[in-house]
């Protein structure tokens, strides 16, 4: 009871955040759907290493399949969202001394109350699992200044699981190694972390090779980069060879759609590659097409580097837009909307994963209807909440800038450099998760969802030291030396 009183402000807000999630579950059952959702379920029904993306999230669905309830899936994801906010709060309270609890509560608030966070928790998608695993890994690493081998292994295993959920997690692996080096955690910690990463990632790569002929986590890196070049690619300047010319965009410059259209639309040039029949989405990522697309993409970037950098800069600027959701003109599928629905519509019934249609897969998993059903008056309340209570892109952009400026100031002042050490990992990881998707795939506010708790952590760790809080340094964590007297 005394512990609850000490954290009473956070407990009150946590209960409110829980109530919002219960309201969402009452309002929209069993879940809300995004176009990628149907592939995740299809892979879970016929478990396999999927070429389009790693199958980690589908493994979670497979493990929960005996429950036959998408409602249970979203309930677990809501708990993951709450746990992510709790980890931000708990880590800041532990690592900072002298800081008022309200600052830790404010750092956790975006995860607890952002309506888009709640929406993705309620969708059959991998985003919340990925964010939970990454935040858990950072929490384990930063729980105390010096990282023990056991905690290094646990953090690495969590990052491996995150990478098998979304391949962008590969960007975070060297950051973990850098933190272990920065904190002088020792060779043993580095070794066990390397093993904890290698075993699951290597095992998955071997499983992938048994299905697709070569090791990997997924296919399609060339396809994604090729699609990224489509808004600016000018084949008159690129001059691709004949085999690559089939991938030139047909639309004139200035009237092209966003990058995702060039992969998923029926008119995609990928479908015209000779000798490479495309029946399902996974066929778009087959090695022959991926290799051809990758060669075209590298040629396009080399021929038009300023156009490529300009596209990246423009899309990074979209991060600061006030509203959230896909950019206009970039979404090829009707279900790619980031809002709780206000109309009912039938789910698609094409074949995404060979062996069953979407309808058959959803029915087999749920043992009943899976289409979203509304309950009044809860549904209008949730929709109204999403209209007004969310983290705007403009505020997120300010958070990014504030975290970077505060970190730079901490590094510049010798007395505050200890505060910069723990902040380096969440700051670098948050920035990587914001920038990398824009560089290699496309802009989407969905992609920076996992960066929010990390950047909140980074800003708090460096800024609270300036307002009276203190960050435990590695030196402070070591026991005092004891003089040895011989005699």
Residues 341-359, mean pLDDT to the nearest whole number? 88
Note the pLDDT of residue 470.
Answer: 54
Within a domain: residue 425?
A: no
Higher pLDDT, 418 or 52: 52
Q: Which candidate, 397, 386, 382, places its Cα nearest to that of 322?
A: 397
Q: Tens digit of pLDDT for each residue in 91-118?
A: 999 998 777 889 999 999 999 999 999 9
Number of domains the chain contains: 2
Note the pLDDT of residue 487.
Answer: 33
Using the predicted structure, report yes or no on whether residue 345 has a pLDDT greater than 90: no
- The answer on 61 and 200 residing in a single domain is yes
- The answer on 378 and 248 residing in a single domain is no
Note the pLDDT of residue 475.
Answer: 44
What confidence tier does 413 reach under pLDDT thresholds 50, 70, 90?
confident
- The answer on 206 and 301 residing in a single domain is no
Within a domain: residue 16?
A: yes
Whether 247 and 283 have beta carbons less than 8 Å apart is answered as no
Residues 424-442, mean pLDDT to the nearest whole number? 94
The Cα–Cα gap between 300 and 249 comes to: 12
CB atoms within 10 A of CB 475: 9
Q: Which candidate, 279, 263, 269, places its Cα nearest to that of 352?
A: 279
- The answer on 184 and 168 residing in a single domain is yes
Using the predicted structure, report yes or no on whether residue 253 has a pLDDT greater than 50: yes
- The answer on 352 and 308 residing in a single domain is no
Using the predicted structure, report yes or no on whether residue 87 has a pLDDT greater than 50: yes
- The answer on 100 and 8 residing in a single domain is yes
- The answer on 198 and 236 residing in a single domain is no
Within a domain: residue 62?
A: yes
Note the pLDDT of residue 482.
Answer: 40
Note the pLDDT of residue 472.
Answer: 56
- The answer on 381 and 302 residing in a single domain is no
Higher pLDDT, 346 or 153: 153
Q: Please state, for a pLDDT cut of 90, what percent of the chain lies above it.
A: 72
Alpha-carbon separation of residue 450 from 55, 296, 425, 455 (angstroms):
18, 31, 14, 9
Using the predicted structure, report yes or no on whether residue 380 has a pLDDT greater than 50: yes
Q: What share of the chain is helix, strand, coil (3-state, %, to 5)?
A: 65, 0, 35
Q: Of 350, 369, 391, which residue constitutes the final position of a domain?
A: 391
Tell me what the pLDDT averaged over the chain comes to: 90
Range of the domain at 194: 2-213+336-391
- The answer on 101 and 178 residing in a single domain is yes
Using the predicted structure, report yes or no on whether residue 474 has a pLDDT greater than 60: no
Through-space distance between the first and last CA atoms of the chain, rounded to whole angstroms: 53
- The answer on 157 and 135 residing in a single domain is yes
Within a domain: residue 34?
A: yes
Note the pLDDT of residue 29.
Answer: 95
Note the pLDDT of residue 469.
Answer: 47
Residues 79-98, mean pLDDT to the nearest whole number? 93
Within a domain: residue 304?
A: yes
Residues 239-263, mean pLDDT to the nearest whole number? 92
What confidence tier does 70 reach under pLDDT thresholds 50, 70, 90?
very high
Within a domain: residue 444?
A: no
Q: Tens digit of pLDDT for each residue in 7-63?
A: 889 999 999 999 999 999 999 999 999 989 999 999 999 999 999 999 999 999 999
Q: Tens digit of pLDDT for each residue in 167-224?
A: 999 999 999 999 999 999 999 999 999 999 999 999 999 999 999 989 999 988 999 9
What confidence tier does 257 reach under pLDDT thresholds 50, 70, 90?
confident
DSSP, collapsed to helix, strand or coil, labels residue 185 as coil
Using the predicted structure, report yes or no on whether residue 330 has a pLDDT greater than 50: no
Note the pLDDT of residue 328.
Answer: 44
Within a domain: residue 356?
A: yes
Note the pLDDT of residue 255.
Answer: 87
Q: Of 374, 391, 408, which residue constitutes the final position of a domain?
A: 391
What confidence tier does 333 reach under pLDDT thresholds 50, 70, 90?
very low
Note the pLDDT of residue 35.
Answer: 87
Residues 240-251, mean pLDDT to the nearest whole number? 94
- The answer on 129 and 27 residing in a single domain is yes
Within a domain: residue 413?
A: no
Q: For residue 286, what are its two tokens?
A: 């087959």
The Cα–Cα gap between 453 and 455 comes to: 6
Residues 229-243, mean pLDDT to the nearest whole number? 95
Whether 229 and 301 have beta carbons less than 8 Å apart is answered as yes
φ, ψ of residue 319 in degrees (nearest 5) = -60, -30
Higher pLDDT, 127 or 324: 127
- The answer on 341 and 261 residing in a single domain is no
Note the pLDDT of residue 220.
Answer: 85
Q: How many helices (H) and strands (E) does the chain have?
A: 23, 4
Note the pLDDT of residue 97.
Answer: 74
């Amino acid at each position: 009871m005394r512990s609850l009183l000490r954290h009473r402000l956070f407990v009150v807000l946590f209960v409110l955040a829980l109530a919002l999630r219960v309201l969402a579950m009452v309002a929209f059952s069993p879940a809300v759907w995004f176009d990628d959702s149907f592939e995740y379920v299809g892979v879970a029904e016929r478990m396999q290493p999927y070429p389009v993306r790693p199958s980690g999230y589908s493994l979670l669905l497979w493990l929960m399949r005996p429950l036959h309830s998408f409602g249970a899936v979203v309930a677990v994801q809501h708990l993951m969202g709450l746990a992510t906010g709790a980890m931000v709060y708990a880590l800041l309270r532990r690592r900072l001394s002298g800081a008022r609890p309200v600052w830790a509560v404010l750092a956790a608030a975006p995860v607890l109350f952002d309506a888009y966070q709640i929406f993705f928790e309620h969708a059959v998608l991998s985003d919340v699992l990925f964010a939970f695993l990454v935040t858990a890994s950072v929490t384990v690493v930063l729980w105390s200044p010096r990282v023990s081998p056991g905690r290094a292994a646990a953090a690495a295993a969590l990052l491996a699981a995150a990478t098998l959920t979304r391949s962008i997690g590969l960007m975070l692996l060297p950051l973990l190694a850098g933190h272990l080096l920065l904190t002088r955690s020792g060779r043993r910690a580095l070794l066990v972390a390397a093993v904890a990463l290698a075993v699951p990632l290597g095992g998955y790569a071997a499983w992938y090779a048994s299905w697709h002929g070569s090791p990997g986590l997924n296919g399609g890196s060339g396809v994604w980069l090729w699609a990224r070049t489509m808004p600016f690619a000018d084949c008159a300047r690129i001059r691709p060879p004949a085999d690559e010319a089939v991938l030139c965009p047909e639309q004139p410059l200035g009237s092209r759609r966003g990058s995702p259209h060039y992969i998923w639309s029926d008119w995609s040039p990928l479908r015209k590659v000779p000798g490479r029949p495309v029946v399902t989405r996974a066929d778009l990522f087959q090695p022959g097409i991926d290799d051809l697309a990758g060669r075209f993409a590298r040629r396009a970037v080399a021929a038009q580097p300023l156009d490529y950098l300009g596209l990246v800069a423009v899309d990074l600027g979209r991060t600061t837009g006030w509203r959230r959701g896909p950019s206009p003109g970039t979404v090829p599928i009707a279900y790619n909307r980031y809002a709780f629905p206000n109309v009912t519509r039938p789910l698609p019934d094409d074949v995404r994963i060979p062996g069953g249609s979407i309808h058959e897969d959803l029915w087999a998993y749920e043992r009943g209807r899976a289409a979203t059903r509304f309950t009044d008056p809860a549904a209008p309340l949730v929709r109204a909440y999403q209209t007004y209570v969310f983290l705007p892109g403009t505020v997120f952009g300010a958070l990014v800038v504030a975290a970077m400026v505060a970190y730079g100031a901490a590094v510049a002042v010798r007395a505050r450099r200890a505060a910069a050490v723990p902040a380096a990992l969440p700051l670098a990881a948050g920035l990587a998760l914001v920038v990398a998707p824009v560089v290699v795939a496309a802009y989407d506010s969905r992609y920076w969802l996992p960066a929010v708790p990390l950047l909140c952590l980074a800003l708090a760790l460096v800024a609270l030291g300036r307002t009276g809080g203190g960050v435990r340094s590695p030196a402070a964590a070591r026991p005092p030396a004891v003089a040895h007297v011989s005699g």
